[in-house]
Amino acid sequence: MPYGEKNKEQLIEYSVKAFNFFEKQNVKAVIMACNTTSAVVYEELKDKFDFRLYPLIQTVTKTIKDMPVSRIGVFATPATVNSHAYKNNLPNKEVKEIACPTWVKIVESNSQNTTLADTEIKEHLTDMLKFKPDKIILGCTHYPYLTEQLSKYAPKDIFINPSEIYVKAICEDLKSKNLLNPKTAKGLDKFFVSSEPENFIISGKMFYDVQNCILLRD
């Protein structure tokens, strides 16, 4: 962590290890819920595994390109910005991409309400608003957790949380391929982390009920 500061070779290495693990679990699909890996490694790995692979950026931009707006701002990690993945996948829009290298750490440390974090968030947003965007994509999985802070300085509806578009597109595709489980099926949520599972339980409370979590070590 954070992925947004890793080079291409490192990102490919991490992704291959994760995908090999998923393949051993006989999964039917893998969601690349990371803008950085979608931007940097998807094209390299998309045809090397048997499961369906859903890259975040390439999936959501199919919907965003049809929105009735012309100017799109993107807040993302340095790796995503340097790849110009959003700009390349939105050729019919005018796109401005700004890297926010500290934002992931702000969310991970749950320090978004501090004066220092607020200053950094406001600084990037002020720079973006000079572009006069119609919409601003929060182009990192962590960034939607900063929506309340961002909304102090710009209308809340200007921000796009890609995950909302992403989930809908994945569901529609799985349904079209007859890969959805029946609604009566009972599932079990399992989270596998590469290190520091205790910290994952703490940070995981931001987005998931982990009160009854059972921690197993490999």
How far apart (Å, rounded) are the C-alpha atoms in residues 209 and 201?
10
Helix (H, G, I), strand (E, B) or coil at 133: coil
Dihedral (Cα; 46, 49, 51, 52), 10-degree rounding: 10
The DSSP string of 34-96 is -HHHHHHTHHHHTTSSSSEEEEHHHHHHHHHTTSS-SEEEEEE-HHHHHHTHHHHH-TTSEEE
Among the options 34, 100, 171, 213, which is catalytic?
A: 34
**Which residue in 56, 34, 18, 20 sits closest to 193, CA to CA?**
18
Q: Nearest 5°: CA angle at 206, between 202 and 208?
A: 90
- Respond yes or no: is residue 100 known to be catalytic: no
Among the options 100, 140, 171, 213, which is catalytic?
A: 140
- Catalytic sites, residue numbers: 34, 140
